[in-house]
Amino acid sequence: MIDLASRTAIVVPVRDEEASIIELFDSFEKLSLKPREIIIVDGGSQDATVPVIKKYMRSHNNLPYKLRLIELEDAFPGKARNIGIESSSARIIACTDAGGIVDPGWLKHLLAPFKKDSRLEVTVGNCLPYTKSPFEKYAFLINIKGLDKTKFAYLGAVSIAFLKEVWQKVGKYPDEIYPNEDKCFLIKLKKYGAKFFISDKAIARWRPRRNMKEFAVQYFSYGRADARFDFVPIAHILRIATYTLGLALVIMGIAHRILWIVCLLGLFLYLLGVTFRTCLQSRRVAAFLYVPLLLLVKDIAQIFGYIVGMVERICVPKYREIARNKFKVTNE
């Protein structure tokens, strides 16, 4: 395993993470298996992220790995990762995101499968919540279906290791897509036929948004990017159709009051289902205070984001071109 670690680099894109980056660095120091180097790529932070990183580097000059900082003027995470990977001579690249931490055994469990199978090209790890308030806890739980399904679909950023060679072959991370650039990368790897291994023990811990404003902006961005680059249109269309029907029932209820009852009953059942599930997962009655509002904000933010993104895709040829080629593999 020592040989693998000495040929491994961890690449982390950051932007405006002054409040969380030291926690991530502390978790790297606790890794049971240390990489050759850790490359931090700043995509144009407007806060004190870069000064905080530089201060940490000055005060930690005896780390068991090389810590490097690359500064970019303005870059999405995909581009930041690509530049970090290109700058490294490591054979294996491990990626995680700022805004969270990794468990001590994270890198060890990501690399172990490569030692067992020389044909392996990608290991995908696990992601669990890292919460500091009830709001963050419920913001995470409304997105999962059960206690055994805490992994995200976009672990191409949060917890993954891959051969640098296969990253090159599939055409790297997309530079101009955000969010969902990690999802694109995973899909390209699968299209290419890369050999995967899923390691549940390789745990990164992701921190959800801290407040309602950040939460709403997050899901607005998800909806906007999904429309811009043509991701999961059916789910968004169904959501828009459902809320449009509800709005129509409210308007028609002016003349036929029974329709207001139908609308309220439908909304109640929808909110109750997710809230009850979250209550069981959290084992806290407080879910009934948080989840209904979170769910409504999430849905409405995604709807408005999707509408804005659709207008942008119609009006901006660049987005249509990116959408057409988002899953294109260099060496198909």
Name the β-bridge partners of 126.
203
**What SS3 string covers 92-133?**
EEEECCCCEEECCCHHHHHHHHHHHCCCCCEEEEEEEECCCC
| pLDDT values of the chain reduced to their tens digit, one per residue, 332 residues | 558 999 999 999 999 999 999 999 999 999 999 999 999 999 999 999 999 999 999 999 999 999 999 999 999 999 999 999 999 999 999 999 999 999 999 999 999 999 999 999 999 998 888 899 999 999 988 876 543 434 444 455 789 999 999 999 999 999 999 998 998 999 999 999 999 999 999 999 989 999 999 999 999 999 999 999 999 889 999 999 999 999 999 999 999 999 999 999 999 998 998 888 888 877 788 888 899 999 999 999 999 999 999 999 999 999 999 999 999 997 65
Contact of 314 with 228, CB cutoff 8 Å: no
Q: Which two tokens stand for residue 45?
A: 């932070």
- At residue 36, what are phi and psi to the nearest 5 degrees? -65, -45
Torsion region of 99: left, alpha or beta (phi above 0 gives left; psi -120 to 50 gives alpha): left
Strands 66-71 and 92-95: unpaired
Distance CA 208, CA 133 (A): 10
d(CA 108, CA 64): 15
CA distance 64 to 111: 18
- Write down the domain spans for the chain: 2-206, 212-325
In the chain, the amino acid numbered 323 is A
The CATH superfamily holding the domain 2-206 is Spore Coat Polysaccharide Biosynthesis Protein SpsA; Chain A (3.90.550.10)
For residue 162, how many C-alpha atoms fall within 13 Å in the half-sphere facing its CB?
Answer: 32
Q: What's the alpha-carbon Rg for the chain, to the nearest Å? A: 22
Q: State the DSSP string of 171-186.
A: T-S-SS--SSHHHHHH
* Cβ-contact 13, 39 below 8 angstroms: no
By DSSP bridging, strand 160-163 and strand 92-95 are antiparallel
Distances (CA, A) of 91 to 94, 254, 329: 10, 66, 20
